[in-house]
Structure 1
Amino acid sequence: MYLLLAVMLWLLAAGDAQSKCKRNNRADYPFTPLSDGGSAQFWFGRINLASSAIQPAGTLLGSAVATAAEASGINGDTLLWTCDLADAGQIDEVFSTNGDDRVGGFSEIGTQDGLAGFYRTWFPGVAIRLTHLRSGKVFSRYYQSSRLDTYDIDQAGKKILIRAKHLSPIKAEVARVSDISPGTGTSNWCANTPDNQRWAAVAYTCTQPNGYLMLRGPGYNRASGDMDDDGEDHAYRYLFFGAANGIAFGMRMGATLSILPSCVVQNVTPEVVFPTISETELDLGQTRQVEFTLSFRCDEGTNSKPSYAAGTDDNQTAFGLQVSPGALAAAQLLGYVNQDRGVRYLLSDQYGTDPTVAKGVGISLSDADTHQQMQWLSSSVSGQWLPQSLPSGRNAGWYRLPAPGQQAGRTSPAPSSASVGQYTVEKRLTATLQKLPGKTVTAGRVFSTAYVIVKVQ
């Protein structure tokens, strides 16, 4: 009995030893996507810091989502790692901030402003938080993991194939923080600081990533020298980097910073409810219209900088209404997105995917005062000095607010520690529920979401 038991244990141990994950070759999976200049980029576009009266510390400034497939040198189908079929259930995605670098993820600086998980960036006064969307876990300096159960299977070779498209998307959020000190880190690869006193925007030229996404599995771990353990501090341990294991994510050249008087959304009509309309009425060209109002709080200006400039040109403040991801996908499928990425009709969030949602109907937007037709925004990303041109102007869905001198409802300046006065401007818009040109109307409910965006261009 004892001999048999020993043999069985030896066989089990031998089976475990043969089970192993490994990295793909350097030709097909190069080091580039892990390098500083090859990271998947977070496209925030223009980030503007207005007065602290309308934009106090703790204010969220923007969000973006990036995937591993967007890193340099690879695509969604690039094979990154292979594991044995026996490794299923033992493979993890591992992630952390760039915990050793001064502006990559060494210092969590948002806590004093009520912001958990926000780390210093190269932009003074701007912090970033990364979230592993599949698990919902927020990145920190200390390694964390999440089980990976999405992959391809090679039945003939009895292998698990892990491609870039199988890794979780990473969400990034930026917020204003009160800590504008240069900070410290165990490394400081971007020792310079941006000139943020100019009128023009300053590009995020620091190439240091803000976070990393790696892999751990049987035979591909700390013992093999390929990956660090959960809970270890990235500030002092980064085995994964020497093993070329992972994908970098960062803000490099995907964001610009300016410090200009601007506006923020103060109030919106929370719900726009249309009266019921029948298929017959829609087919006859009838519509339903509802007017609603947007309210913005704007900077009066300071001695050094005048009041905000309204318009859609560089350094001017514009607004737009952005459609939901589901509505955008449907609009693209139906051909309602123009060459500047403006969206002609707002469709239901689940148009074409939920059988209870009406088809053949959409919502158009117009100026309630001038009756001019308007486009919906497909994206809130805008700005100058970026490596790729971004759509701007009316055809993209950006519109000017009333200029300071044109606003009849101007209020008294509000007191603030920044000694900057503010006033309110309002914009009246009209939403029209109508039949989509050339489409057949199918009865159902209409439920659409739009987000009010105001941003320096």
Structure 2
Amino acid sequence: MRAAGQTMRAEMTVQSDAMVRRRVAAVLLALLGGVLWCAQAEAACYRVSRSTPTTDTGAVDYVEPGKGLVRVWEGAHDTSGKGAMAMTININNEVFQPDGTLLASKVLSIFDLGSGHVGGYAPEQVLFRCRPTENPSTFYEYYSTNGDNSWAGKDEEGSAIGLPESYRTVQRGLMARVTNLNTGEYASRYWKRRPLELDMARDKDSKGWYLIKARHFSNYKVEFFKYSQSKGSGDSGWQDGQDGQNWNYSQPIAYSAFQGGGMSPDLKPGADHASQYSGFYSAWPGAINPYQTVKVRRSASCRVVTATPVVAFTPISAVELEKGGQRMLPIDIRLQCQTGAPANTGLTGFQSGTGAKQTAMGLLVQSANYLAAQREGLGVPGGSGVTHLLSDGYGDNPAVATGVGVALSRPSGQKLNWLSSEWITGGGGAAGWYPVLQDADALGSQDGLTRYHARMRATLIRLPGKKVKPGSLNATAQVVIRVQ
């Protein structure tokens, strides 16, 4: 098993102030109703936000039946995007996490980044309707960090350690970087844009009006990096505690905005979000927001030193598998844990377990293998794990064996589940998380670091109730250690 780039994982191959200003602005807009009416009368694009679609064909927010969905949406206010970023981040000391260590990463769908709840947008939901006189080449998605907030996108820190466009967060020792997955560019405090791509057969109605839908906007990736020099907010005791906490700061770290037909008119490429937030918040569909979703820990933990690099089963026939035959091989994992001083300085004490702030270990399957296992009915009832690791190309590649997979167990024979996500913690064994030191022997300690040898077993076996088709089996799993 070869050690991966992360300090806490290995791979195994298996073969056959701004907030106040904005709120004031919103109040002023609400009071100046007449001004809003005049501006709307001169506009060329209009918000479509109704609980029931209008049947008035002359209404500017009319959506023809079959051309798109109509729902209420609020825009990117302070708590929008809440719930989309479920993960637990453990901020450790320099012993385990040198500056620049990637602590967590997640791809976020635009459909989860609006107000309300995860999945609040539907792909065909119409957000704006624009007059036929508009040029569709002038419809843009703009994106930026929360550039007028010192703890959510104003202060760029990552360039100092080779991580450009990584910004200070409210959490001490933690930077965030956001990537637009359509352009591949990092979000910056200085606005960037991309043209929206409309399909004229689907996104234009019989009267020639253009329909701007949720699917036109980008998905994003968020990454969190360790940076010991980052001071966090500095004035909020809850974000600086040794015990860690939930992310209770409501400001988003980045935004997705729409420009066109009078919406967000003053946004320009390179404009500084610190002073330019035209269209906020009703013309901005999405916000990237850790609020009350990301959990932060500051706990002593473990890391993988080595693990069995390749588990190569000897050949076995389909007939033997059908009769209950199997092949079994050991998995050996060498660990190093912060059990005492000075290794655990500044951290809560190390605990092996699957409870909050305890350290757990799981063997992570790749997403395609996970989906294949789900299709075969191998999900764990009440949990997010799967019972078997299936081959790459399972069910798609005719050269790959089907009806067979790899089961995981303890030396005692206790069955274990495979992990489906390394970022979502909790859930215990049903999710594929187990106490990191279960079936582990201590090998010695030095400077507060204790070495351990942990053991598991991999078994090539027929899937329950399935017919075996001969072929190859090749898959990769990763040993992952996470504070829960």
TM-score normalised according to structure 1 size? 0.80
- Distance in 2 of aligned mates of 1:240 and 1:193: 33
- 1:36 to 2:78 alignment: yes
Structure 2 SS opposite 1:423: strand
- 1:399 to 2:434 alignment: yes
Structure 1 SS opposite 2:413: coil
Residue 346 of structure 1 and its aligned partner are, at CA, apart by 1.4
- 1:180 to 2:227 alignment: no
CA contact (8 A) 2:93 2:347 kept: no
Residue 209 of structure 1 and its aligned partner are, at CA, apart by 0.2
Tell me the residue number matched to 1:112. 160
- Distance in 1 of aligned mates of 2:357 and 2:160: 31
2:144 counterpart (96, 116, 121)? 96
The number of residues matched between the two structures is 413
Tell me the residue number matched to 1:365. 408
Tell me the residue number matched to 2:36. none
CA contact (8 A) 1:40 1:66 kept: no
1:72 counterpart (115, 121, 128)? 115
Partner AA of 1:323 in structure 2: V
Residues 19, 51 of structure 1: alpha-carbon distance in 2 compared, 3 angstrom cutoff: closer
Q: Residue deviations 1:46-94, cap 9 Å, x none?
A: 2222232112221111112222222334322432123568855554322
- 1:408 to 2:442 alignment: yes
Structure 2 SS opposite 1:82: strand
CA contact (8 A) 1:209 1:248 kept: yes
- Distance in 2 of aligned mates of 1:206 and 1:196: 13
Residues 26, 304 of structure 1: alpha-carbon distance in 2 compared, 3 angstrom cutoff: same
Partner AA of 1:137 in structure 2: E
2:257 counterpart (202, 214, 217)? 214
Tell me the residue number matched to 2:197. 149
Share of identical aligned residues, percent?
32
The answer for unaligned runs of 5 or more in structure 2 is: 1-41, 52-69
Residue 328 of structure 1 and its aligned partner are, at CA, apart by 2.1
Residue 237 of structure 1 and its aligned partner are, at CA, apart by 0.8
Partner AA of 1:213 in structure 2: S
Question: Quick check: 96-105 or 172-181, which moved more?
Answer: 172-181
Tell me the residue number matched to 2:364. 322
Partner AA of 2:477 in structure 1: A
Residues 61, 280 of structure 1: alpha-carbon distance in 2 compared, 3 angstrom cutoff: same
CA contact (8 A) 2:351 2:358 kept: yes
- Distance in 2 of aligned mates of 1:40 and 1:306: 28
Tell me the residue number matched to 2:389. 346
Residues 40, 66 of structure 1: alpha-carbon distance in 2 compared, 3 angstrom cutoff: farther
Question: Quick check: 27-36 or 202-211, which moved more?
Answer: 27-36
1:82 counterpart (129, 145, 170)? 129
- 1:380 to 2:428 alignment: no
Residues 350, 119 of structure 1: alpha-carbon distance in 2 compared, 3 angstrom cutoff: farther
The answer for unaligned runs of 5 or more in structure 1 is: 1-17, 185-190, 384-390, 414-420
Q: Residue deviations 1:159-185, cap 9 Å, x none?
A: 44333244322111111112232469x
Tell me the residue number matched to 2:319. 280
- Distance in 1 of aligned mates of 2:173 and 2:142: 29
Residues 403, 145 of structure 1: alpha-carbon distance in 2 compared, 3 angstrom cutoff: same
Residues 278, 257 of structure 1: alpha-carbon distance in 2 compared, 3 angstrom cutoff: same
Structure 2 SS opposite 1:257: strand
- Distance in 2 of aligned mates of 1:407 and 1:359: 37
CA contact (8 A) 2:171 2:233 kept: no
- Distance in 2 of aligned mates of 1:163 and 1:447: 41
TM-score normalised according to structure 2 size? 0.76
Residue 111 of structure 1 and its aligned partner are, at CA, apart by 2.6
Question: Quick check: 63-72 or 316-325, which moved more?
Answer: 63-72
Tell me the residue number matched to 1:430. 457
Residues 357, 140 of structure 1: alpha-carbon distance in 2 compared, 3 angstrom cutoff: farther
Residues 355, 139 of structure 1: alpha-carbon distance in 2 compared, 3 angstrom cutoff: farther
CA contact (8 A) 2:171 2:232 kept: no
Q: Residue deviations 1:322-380, cap 9 Å, x none?
A: 2222122222222211212221111234433444433222221112x323211011222
Tell me the residue number matched to 1:15. none
